[in-house]
């Protein structure tokens, strides 16, 4: 009988992995995991638009394949964490079974949450434009509706 322990396997749930920022993020996760001798399994849907309409059954079904009990931990990126199938099949089981879960926007007990302070960064940017470049008129455009980082 082997006493060898099982490898650490991290699951990553994301979308549009070919996007520059998401590719950089997932590459960083994979490189760090490799250094630690861990394995990474990535679950990806290709188009953010399918997430908004939630009509593309083929793409969303990838998240039905995830058995969180096979993973040492899960990372759920901000773009997919609000999809009901991800909440039901990944986030809730992780929280129920005490499987480490990292998210980027979701506030939940037992969940490691990475949040970025865009407000402070934006304040510094505006201060710089006014003070250093003597700009008197600022025109701003909002981003995605109902997105806390955009409004």
The pLDDT tens digits of the residues spanning 49-79 come to 555 555 566 777 788 889 999 999 999 988 7
79-136 pLDDT, tens per residue?
Answer: 787 778 888 899 999 999 999 999 887 776 778 887 777 778 888 888 898 999 998 8
Closest by CA position to 149, among listed 107, 112, 121: 121
Strand positions, DSSP E, 5-135: 9-15, 39-45, 73-76, 101-103, 112-113
């Amino acid at each position: 009988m082997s006493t060898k322990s099982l490898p650490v396997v991290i699951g990553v749930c994301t979308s549009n992995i070919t996007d520059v920022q998401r590719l950089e993020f997932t590459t960083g996760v994979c490189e760090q995991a490799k250094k630690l001798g861990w394995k990474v399994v990535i679950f990806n849907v290709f188009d953010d638009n399918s997430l908004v309409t939630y009509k593309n059954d083929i793409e969303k079904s990838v998240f039905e394949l995830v058995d969180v009990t096979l993973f040492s931990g899960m990372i759920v990126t901000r773009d997919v964490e609000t999809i009901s199938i991800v909440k039901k099949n990944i986030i809730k089981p992780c929280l129920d079974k005490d499987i480490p879960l990292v998210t980027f926007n979701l506030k939940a007990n037992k969940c490691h949450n990475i949040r970025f302070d865009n407000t402070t960064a934006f304040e510094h940017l505006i201060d710089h434009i006014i003070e250093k470049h003597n700009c008197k008129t600022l025109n701003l455009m909002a981003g995605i509706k109902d997105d806390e980082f955009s409004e």
